[in-house]
């Protein structure tokens, strides 16, 4: 992977693989980026929180409702992103 274009994306890339809590359930942060050149040079980032224990009663109940595995789009909710940034800042060295 090449060097991130901006510091926002670089910060999220440093959080890749770290654990956070969402609604009391442990999740692991998964970050992906790709570079695009059209219509201008830019970097696209996606940040998801994957449940750690996919055998928990909560996860299995949600999976049954949804009919598939699921993850949480962190950047899709400003409130969730803010909460997880607070959690992750406490884990920075």
**Sequence-separated (6 or more) residues with CB below 8 Å from residue 43:** 4, 5, 6, 9, 33, 34, 35, 36
In a domain, 76, yes or no: yes
What's the pLDDT at 87?
96
Instruction: Give domain status of residue 12, yes or no.
Output: yes
pLDDT of residue 4: 55
Residue 28 lies in a domain: yes
Residue 2 lies in a domain: no
In a domain, 83, yes or no: yes
Predicted local confidence at residue 62, as pLDDT: 87
1 in a domain, yes or no? no
Q: What letters, b where the CB count within 10 A reaches 16 and e where it falls short, cover 11-26?
A: ebbebeeeebeeeebe
Structural domain that includes position 22? 7-88
Task: Provide, rounded to the nearest whole percent, the portion of the chain with pLDDT above 90.
Answer: 59
In a domain, 68, yes or no: yes
Give the number of domains in the chain.
Answer: 1
Q: Summarize pLDDT for 41-81 with one digit per residue, the tens.
A: 888 999 999 999 999 888 899 899 998 888 899 999 999 99
Q: Read off the pLDDT band of 2 (50, 70, 90).
A: low
Torsion of CA 41, 43, 44, 45, to 10 degrees: -170
């Amino acid at each position: 992977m090449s060097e991130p274009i901006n510091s926002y994306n670089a910060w999220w890339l440093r959080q890749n693989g770290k654990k956070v809590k969402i609604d009391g359930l442990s999740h692991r942060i998964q970050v992906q980026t790709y570079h695009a050149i059209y219509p201008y040079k830019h970097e696209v980032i996606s940040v998801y929180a994957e449940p750690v224990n996919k055998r928990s009663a909560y996860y299995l109940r949600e999976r049954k409702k949804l009919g598939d595995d699921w993850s949480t789009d962190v950047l899709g909710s400003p409130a969730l992103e803010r909460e997880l940034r607070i959690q992750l800042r406490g884990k920075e060295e």
